[in-house]
Structure formats: C-alpha cells, structure tokens
Structure 1
Amino acid sequence: MTAFTPRLAALALLTLAFGAQADEVQVAVASNFTAPIQAIAESFEKDTGHKLVAAYGATGQFYTQIKNGAPFEVFLAADDTTPAKLEQEGDIMPGSRFTYAVGTLALWSAKPGYVDAKGDVLKGNDYQHLSIANPKAAPYGLAATQALDKLGLTEQVKGKIVEGQNISQAYQFVSTGNAELGFVALSQIYKDGKVTSGSAWIVPANLYAPIKQDAVLLNKGKDNAAAKALVAYLKGPKAAAIIKSFGYEL
C-alpha cells in the first residue's frame, strides 16, 4: 500500500481544486464543423479541464431550438446572418459574436476519379442523383444552389436533387452511394492539405457568397466559466491550427 505522503496530499488537493473549477459547456455546432470541433474539444478539455458537449445539426434548425429555450450556451453557426439575428433579438451576450471560420464548398463523389478537377462532371449530366443540404436551413445548401445558378445548371439538375436536412446528411447520401455526387463542406473530406477519400472539385469562391461562420456566447452561458473559456479558446492559436487543417480560412 502506498504511503500518503505530503506530496501526494498536495496533489490530491490540487486535483480536487481543479475538478471544482472544471465545468461543462453545451454547444450547438453546425454539421460541417463536426470533425474540427471534435479535435478542438480534445485539446480544449486537456488544456482547461472543462468538458465540451456538442450537438450537431443545421444552423436554421438550431436557431429555432434556441428560440424555443434549448439549453445551448455556445452556438457555432455555419453562417453569419443567423448569429447576427440572435444578437439583434437579444439572445446572446453583447459583443460575443465573431467569425471563427470561413467555409469552402466542394463537389464530391465517393468514387475515386469520378469528379474532375474542373467540375465538368456536373455539365456532363451523366448521373442520376446530386446531393445538397436543405438551402433554407443549411448555408452550404444555399451556397450549392448559388453555384448551380451561376453555372447555369439549375434547371438541368432540378430532377436529380436529393436534399439532406443538413450538410452531414448530404454527405451521407454520397458516401453511401445513394447519390453519385453532391455538394459538401470541404472540411468533411479534407485533412492536412488533401482530400481524404473519393474525388472532389473545390468550388471557386466566386460562385457563391462567402460562408462566414460566426460563433456566439448565448445568454444561457453568461455565467458558465466553461462557455466563456471555449469562446476564448476558439480565438487562440491551437484552435486556429486545427481549423485551418480542415480546409477553412480564418
């Protein structure tokens, strides 16, 4: 049996003190940011002792849930308009809104070599289904419709669209083969400078409005140390490195 030395006693007190200070933060996260926030959570919890509990979904759906009293304390949206609306409506802590990432749209297929470097596969029309996220609820879905419109392909693809509730479901339709290709967030298929599976075309930024993704500290998190710590952490160098590794701009 190990003797309970003064050093062990000090360590025990330190652990108890650290545990007492640790808190939990409930975070609503846009689906496109699933992989990055999971990586950030691991680093955040290690560095601060706080625990991050995330829910994933479409930005528009989260807006409705927040307005209906959902217990979220921090909101990481896939756009900047929804957080701005919550700010105008008094649902966030004043001055807490900031852009944590700028997203990139990609056309992707789970099949290697299926999507060419210029995205001409879209014009070729040799496919049955094209997956996109719901443009009314998911900013990446809206960006997809904007790109199709600028390419003059809206009418051509109308009968081929398979719509997911959010960008995760749009990705799932393609990954499972229910759609030959689809518009997804680059972060879902990209890590450390390369596409991780299948084939993809990174859609030029001039084909859709910038996907500025804003984060806010919601009123429910105003007294939560973990919520405040997460907002600060997202602005720091460790989070920035992770975010960039998934293909986002800062």
Structure 2
Amino acid sequence: MPRRKRLSALLLALCLLALPAVAESVLAEPLRVAVAANFRATAERAGAAFERETGTAVVLSSAATGMLYNQLRHGAPFDLFLAADAERPRRLAEEGIAIAASRRCYARGRLVLLGGPLAALKTPGQRVAIANAAVAPYGAAAEAVLARPPLAGVERRLLRGASVQQAWQFHATGGADLALVARSLVGDADRLELIPADWHAPIEQQAIVVAGGRETEADAFLAWLAGPAARPLLERDGYDPCP
C-alpha cells in the first residue's frame, strides 16, 4: 500500500476511534435550568435526585423570574425555565421561545413574614424587605399584602431586593426589621408568620420547556418534578401542591 494511502487509512481509523468519545461527551451535556430564586435550594435537591435516577446532570442558574425571562428572550442557552409565576412562561410560549404544550404548574408558593407578628406591619417606621415586584412574583404578592387595609398608608421604609432571596438576606443580615419572603427560604427555627393565602393572588409557579434545547430531557425532569417522587421535597420546603 502506498504511503499516502496508509496515512489516510490511519487517519480514518483514528477518527472512528474518536466517535464514541464524541458521542459520550454529547450525552454527558448537562440539562441547563433557569430557576426562580425562591426555588433554587429545592431545585438543587431535585436535580441531584434526578441525576441519580437517570444519569442526566442538572445545572442551575437562578435569579428573579423577570430577570431570567429577559435572559431567555435574548437567547440565553437554557433548556427549561422554572418560574415563580404563570405569566412569564405564558409569554415565552406566545413569543415562540418555549413550547406551549409543555407549560405546567409544578408548585404553589407561600408568603411569610419574618421578624414579628402580622400586627408588626402596622407599626410605622419599620424597615420592611420585599422583592422587587417588577421582576419577582413574591414581591408583587408582598406589595398586595401591604396595600390591604389596615396596612395601607402606614409609613414604612421598603427595602426592595433584586430577588426574594436578596430580600431574605436583608433581614438575615440585620438590614431590615421585617421581611415578606418565600416560605421555602425560611428555616423551621426562624420566627415566621404565614401570610393568609387570600391576602394576595395565588403564587402559582409554572415551568416551560425551551424550544431548540434538550427538549426530551427537560420534559423528563419536569415530569419528575411534578410527580410523586418530588412531592416530599416540595412539602418539606413549604410549597403547596398544584391544583
């Protein structure tokens, strides 16, 4: 065999040997999930359990729901969006960025008050931490609570965090007297008051699969998250089941 042909055959053999490694690296690509700040810790535990069962790694990026929505609209490479509301997933479906048929509720959040009884919200001069309602559904729920009589009109200093996680941090570090945050962020040892569910619109947290990503794996993770295997994780972190 001429030298040139022997060299070509050798290169072909090397390429064929490399194919399994290439395929394995493709299969090993993680599922990229954009997750609302309130659900980050729960999603970490859920992702770890899902990986143990399926072998699919889950990589999370968390921020306020509105921030993640804007990132997705500008082409952020996520496969699944776990929002803290129903509005942003619906918009993504209408805009053709996500798959409308995949949109579903995966949890219902609860709002709590940290730092005192509900009556403390009527005390003037309090520093109250809430999430920014423009980007965080828990912030919108907090504003609805503060707008209820007899809480409306009370002079207080509102500290708005970029996410509900940051609002919790304001209180945890002593920067706020009170905080209206997600139940999921608060430990059992913390002093909290559960806000009555009818004091604000339901916090229905919906998810949607992003078009053009790892759709099959995203569907599988979402089905797992909405199924019986994840129920103990959700209940442990203070979420109510979807209706």
- Which category of TM-score, normalised to the shorter sequence, fits these structures? 0.7 to 0.9
Structure 1 spans left out of the alignment, 5+ residues: 1-16, 110-114
User: What SS does the corresponding residue of 1:106 show, helix, strand or coil?
Assistant: strand
Higher Cα Rg, which structure: 2
Return the alpha-carbon distance in structure 1 between the equivalents of residues 43 and 226 of structure 2: 13
Q: Compute the displacement of 1:150 (Å).
A: 1.4
User: What SS does the corresponding residue of 1:154 show, helix, strand or coil?
Assistant: coil
Equivalent of residue 196 in structure 1, options 189, 196, 200: 189
Residue of structure 2 equivalent to 1:12? none
**Larger RCO (CA under 8 A, 6+ residues apart):** 1
TM-score, normalised to structure 1, is 0.82
Distance 1:22 1:231, change over 3 A: farther
Residue of structure 2 equivalent to 1:4? none
Equivalent of residue 36 in structure 1, options 23, 26, 42: 42
Residue of structure 1 equivalent to 2:129? 131
Equivalent of residue 48 in structure 1, options 48, 54, 67: 54
Q: Deviations over 1:5-32 (max 9, x none)?
A: xxxxxxxxxxxx9987544111110001
Equivalent of residue 240 in structure 2, options 223, 243, 249: 249
- Indicate whether 1:183 and 2:180 are aligned: yes
Return the alpha-carbon distance in structure 2 between the equivalents of residues 71 and 18 of structure 1: 21
Alignment of 1:1-250 (within 5 A): 21-109=27-115, 115-116=116-117, 119-125=118-124, 128-157=126-155, 159-190=156-187, 195-197=188-190, 199-221=191-213, 223-250=214-241
Amino acid at match of 1:150: R
User: What SS does the corresponding residue of 1:219 show, helix, strand or coil?
Assistant: coil
> How many matched pairs?
219
TM-score, normalised to structure 2, is 0.85
Give the CA RMSD over aligned residues.
1.8
Structure 2 spans left out of the alignment, 5+ residues: 1-22
Amino acid at match of 2:189: T
Amino acid at match of 1:187: S
Return the alpha-carbon distance in structure 1 between the equivalents of residues 134 and 212 of structure 2: 26
Return the alpha-carbon distance in structure 2 between the equivalents of residues 108 and 143 of structure 1: 15
Amino acid at match of 1:163: R
Q: Compute the displacement of 1:229 (Å).
A: 2.2
Q: Is the 8 A contact 1:132 1:167 kept in 2?
A: yes
Amino acid at match of 2:58: L
Identity of aligned residues (%): 37
